C-alpha cells in the first residue's frame, strides 16, 4: 500500500532508518552472491585444470606457480568484497576524509555483477582527485539505493541499451554527483512523491518505498547537502550536492 507520511518523531525516523539499512543489507547480500558465483566457477576450473595436468604428467613448477598466482588474484578480489561489506556496516560516528571516486567504485563493485547480468552499461565520468570530509558509509548507501533503483527501472521497462552515467563536478566549494539513467523517467505527479516515505513504484515484493526517502534524509540532514531527482535525457537524473566543508543545513540525526 502506498501512502505519503512524514515521520512525526525521532522514534519513527529511527525505525525507518533501520528498515532502510536492512533492505540495503538484503540487496547487498544478493549482489555479493552474484559476484562470488563467477570467481567460484573460475576457482573450480583452475582446480580441474590442475588435476588434469597432474594426471597427464604435465604438472611442473611453472604450472603450479601460475595456478597459485591466478587463485590468489581471485581470492583477493573476493576478500575485497567482504571488506567493502564490513566497512559499509561499521558504525560511522565521525567524519573522515575520502575520495569521492573511491566511494563510487565501492558502490559499483556491489552492483557490478547484476548490472553485467542485465547488460546495463556504466559510464563513470568521475574525477579521481575530488576529496571530501564527511560520512563515507552513508554516501555509499545512498549511491547503492540510486543505482539499484535505476537498474530495476531499466530491467522492468526492458530499456534498449540500458545505461547509467555518473558525473562529478567540483566548483565553488561544492561537490556534485549526478547519476543519470535512460529508463524513460516518470510522470511529474510521481516525480513529486518519489522521496516520500512508503511511496514505491515497484511491486510490493520488490520495494519498501523508503530507500529514496532515506537517501534524501541522509544527504540533507546527516551530511548537510542537497538531494533531488528530475526527469532529464530520457530518464531520471539524481543529483547529490555536498559542501566540501560540511556545515549542516538542517538538524543532525
Cell output for 162: 540500458
Q: Which residues contact 138 (CB under 8 A, 6 or more apart)?
A: 92, 218, 222, 223
Distance of CA 145 to CAs 20, 44, 62, Å? 9, 33, 46
Low-confidence ranges of the chain (pLDDT < 50): 1-6, 203-209, 247-253
What is the reported pLDDT for 252?
36
What is the reported pLDDT for 249?
39
Cell output for 243: 559542501
Mean pLDDT of the chain: 78
CA distance 164 to 162: 7
Condensed to tens digits (0 to 9), the pLDDT of residues 119-169 reads: 999 999 988 889 999 888 889 888 988 998 899 899 999 999 999 999 999
DSSP string, 93-114: -S-EEEEHHHHHHHHHHHHHHH
Residue 135's SS3 state is coil
What is the reported pLDDT for 203?
38
Neighbours of 90 (CB within 10 A): 10
**Could you tell me the pTM of the whole model?**
0.65
What is the reported pLDDT for 250?
40
What is the reported pLDDT for 3?
41
Q: Which residues contact 193 (CB under 8 A, 6 or more apart)?
A: 4, 199
Beta-sheet pairing, 131-134 with 235-243: unpaired
Closest CA to 28 of 89, 90, 73: 89
Domains and CATH numbers, the chain: 10-33+86-243 (3.30.565.10)
Beta-sheet pairing, 163-171 with 121-125: parallel
Amino acid at each position: 500500500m502506498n501512502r505519503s507520511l512524514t515521520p512525526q518523531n525521532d522514534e519513527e525516523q529511527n525505525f525507518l532508518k533501520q528498515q532502510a539499512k536492512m533492505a540495503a543489507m538484503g540487496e547487498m547480500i544478493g549482489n555479493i552472491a552474484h559476484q562470488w558465483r563467477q570467481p567460484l566457477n573460475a576457482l573450480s576450473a583452475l582446480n580441474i585444470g590442475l588435476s588434469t595436468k597432474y594426471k597427464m604428467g604435465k604438472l611442473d613448477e611453472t604450472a603450479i606457480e601460475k595456478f597459485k598466482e591466478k587463485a590468489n588474484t581471485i581470492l583477493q578480489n573476493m576478500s575485497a568484497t567482504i571488506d567493502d561489506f564490513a566497512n559499509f556496516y561499521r558504525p560511522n560516528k565521525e567524519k573522515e576524509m575520502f575520495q569521492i571516486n573511491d566511494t563510487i567504485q565501492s558502490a559499483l563493485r556491489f552492483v557490478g555483477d547484476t548490472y553485467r547480468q542485465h547488460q546495463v552499461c556504466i559510464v563513470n565520468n568521475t574525477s579521481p582527485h575530488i576529496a571530501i570530509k564527511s560520512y563515507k558509509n552513508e554516501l555509499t548507501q545512498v549511491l547503492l539505493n540510486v543505482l539499484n533503483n535505476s537498474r530495476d527501472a531499466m530491467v522492468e521497462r526492458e530499456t534498449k541499451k540500458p545505461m547509467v552515467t555518473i558525473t562529478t563536478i567540483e566548483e565553488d566549494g561544492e561537490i556534485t554527483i549526478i547519476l543519470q539513467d535512460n529508463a524513460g523517467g516518470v510522470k511529474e505527479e510521481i516525480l513529486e512523491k518519489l522521496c516520500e516515505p512508503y511511496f514505491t513504484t515497484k511491486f510490493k515484493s520488490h520495494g519498501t518505498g523508503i530507500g529514496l526517502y532515506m537517501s534524501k534524509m541522509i544527504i540533507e540532514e546527516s551530511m548537510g547537502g542537497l538531494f533531488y531527482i528530475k526527469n532529464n535525457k530520457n530518464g531520471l537524473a539524481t543529483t547529490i550536492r555536498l559542501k566540501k566543508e560540511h556545515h549542516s543545513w538542517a538538524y543532525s540525526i
